[in-house]
Structure 1
Amino acid sequence: MMDRNTIKDTGILEQYLLGELSEDQRTQVEDLLREDADLRDYLGKIEDDFEKIAFENAITPPAHIKSNVLNHITDTDEEVIIIPRPQKNQLVTYLAIAAGLAMVFMVSGLWLYTQWQDAKETLEVVQNQTNDLRDRIVSLENNLNETSKWYTAINNPNTVKLILKGNQISPTSSAITYVNHSEKTVILNPQGLTKLTDAETYQMWADVDGEMIDMGVIPSDQNMIVMKYIDNAESINITIEPKGGNDHPTVERLISNVLL
């Protein structure tokens, strides 16, 4: 059974104005309204609030519509039909329709925004993947160009292939050098050299009339290395030196040599 407090606390009056109550509930509310003046005043305030919201969100029609309507009324001889002002219950119904449409637009806008955010994130992922793929392609092209350069150099008819085998100091070591006297180039493949400690490095020397001339320190992280070409060299030699190289060879740590 409904009473004043139940109606106020549960929002039944708002449902009554919006036409959302059953026939039985509506009858009970109307019976209470006839008996309770305070409740009728409370209902009036709710109606006024709804009406205020409706007018605050109303859209003003274009100015020419009013003048067109007035001109039509003035020029016509037909009976003027007076349209009665909608009652408050009708106004509330219109307000409910407008509120429903606003809710639809809000949900649609939220859905579109979510879709846009998802599309933006997907685009960023695709762009990152594209940049990564582009970097890989550039790296592969560089590697291919580098490999092609080495292949052309070592397969030149004027290039001589020499193998430097390790001696008793480093019996498992070996290296391959490609010497082209016409173009004055020396290329070294050091991958067969035994790994040294972090404090040591390999260094290549050219023997010219008994004098050892530096051809360069041999990096441990490269497959093919361009070394210095020394004119009139009689042999090529490899020694173990302190990290960073030496200005003269440590003869007692000579691990390999080959005659030219």
Structure 2
Amino acid sequence: MEKKRILEDGLLEQYLTGELSSELHDLVEKALQEDADLKAQFDALEEDFQRMGLEQAITPPEHVRTNLQKRLEQTERRKLNWFPLSIAAGLALIFALSAFWLYGRWQNAENKLNSLQSQTTELQKRIETLESDYQLTSTHLESINNVDVVPLVLYGNHRAPNAKAVAYINHKSKLVIINPKGLPSLPENKTYQMWSDVEGVMIDMGTLSTDEELITLKYIDNAESLNITIEPVGGNDHPTVEQLVSYLSI
């Protein structure tokens, strides 16, 4: 089976998710065994799916769960043993001590409640952040799993021999999503920037942060190649050619 058909028809994604017929499954598997570049693109795609799938769960801290459970339990009634009413001095003393003890308990309970409320508020913020991240990740997953998406692997050159980034391009919807996690970290005053070459003119697609999992960039019509350079923080209006770290014809 031709490599071009496998990429354009999205057969790599369907092979990964088990959606292919047995005949197509065998053909794609044979192609992966025979084509090292195709196998590298599949490995990168599989790595992205696995990584994003593991980032969706959260376990709240044990002490927060324990405190929440304790606050829901019914407070145990405490029985007070009174001395005979005939001993006035004893009653007065017991009353004073009991009031002092109860006040201390109330203060302690109020402090614990405030602490619990603070922890609950922080947990709620974390849950809201995770829900937002989950929605964004789900949207990205739907986008890169589309049958019209073509995954491309950009390997580093001699300036960054271990660098790797994966681009997911949908020419029909004009969407470009990049996974830059395989790029080496840069100093704080530097960033990666991607460019499209259109008839010899390099057009800015956007900057890449290695702290992010998936980044949506500008789609450039009639692009002949994808290029990644190292630029000052904030990006540049023209590529620094001597800082080119990756290039791929498309």
Partner SS state of residue 205, structure 1? strand
Alignment of 1:203-242 (within 5 A): 203-242=193-232
CA displacement, residues 134-158 of structure 1 (integer Å, 9 cap, x when unaligned): 2232233223222212211110111
Aligned to 2:147: 157
Aligned to 2:136: 146
**Which residue identity does 2:233 align to in structure 1?**
K
Partner SS state of residue 207, structure 2? strand
Partner SS state of residue 156, structure 1? coil
Q: 2:111 aligns with which of 114, 121, 142?
A: 121
Whole-angstrom distance in 1 between the partners of 2:150 and 2:217? 15
CA displacement, residues 207-246 of structure 1 (integer Å, 9 cap, x when unaligned): 1111111111212321211111112212111112233321
Q: 1:97, CA displacement in angstroms?
A: 4.3
CA RMSD between the two structures = 1.9
**Which residue identity does 2:226 align to in structure 1?**
I
Q: 1:184 aligns with which of 174, 184, 187?
A: 174
Aligned to 1:105: 95
**Which residue identity does 1:213 align to in structure 2?**
I
Aligned to 1:135: 125
Q: 1:181, CA displacement in angstroms?
A: 1.4
Give the fraction of aligned pairs with identical amino acids, expressed as a percent.
52
1:254 paired with 2:215, answer no
Structure 2: 5+ residue stretches without partners: 1-85
Q: 1:103, CA displacement in angstroms?
A: 2.2
Give the structure with higher Rg (CA).
Answer: 1
- Return the TM-score normalized by structure 2: 0.60
Structure 1: 5+ residue stretches without partners: 1-95
**Which residue identity does 2:90 align to in structure 1?**
G
Whole-angstrom distance in 1 between the partners of 2:231 and 2:126? 37
Runs (4 or more) in structure 1 with deviation over 4 Å come to: none
Partner SS state of residue 186, structure 1? strand
Whole-angstrom distance in 2 between the partners of 1:163 and 1:238? 12
Partner SS state of residue 220, structure 1? coil
Whole-angstrom distance in 2 between the partners of 1:139 and 1:216? 25
**Which residue identity does 1:226 align to in structure 2?**
T
Q: 1:169, CA displacement in angstroms?
A: 2.3
- Return the TM-score normalized by structure 1: 0.58
Partner SS state of residue 252, structure 1? helix
Whole-angstrom distance in 2 between the partners of 1:234 and 1:175? 18
Partner SS state of residue 123, structure 1? helix
**Which residue identity does 1:244 align to in structure 2?**
G
Alignment of 1:82-97 (within 5 A): 97=87
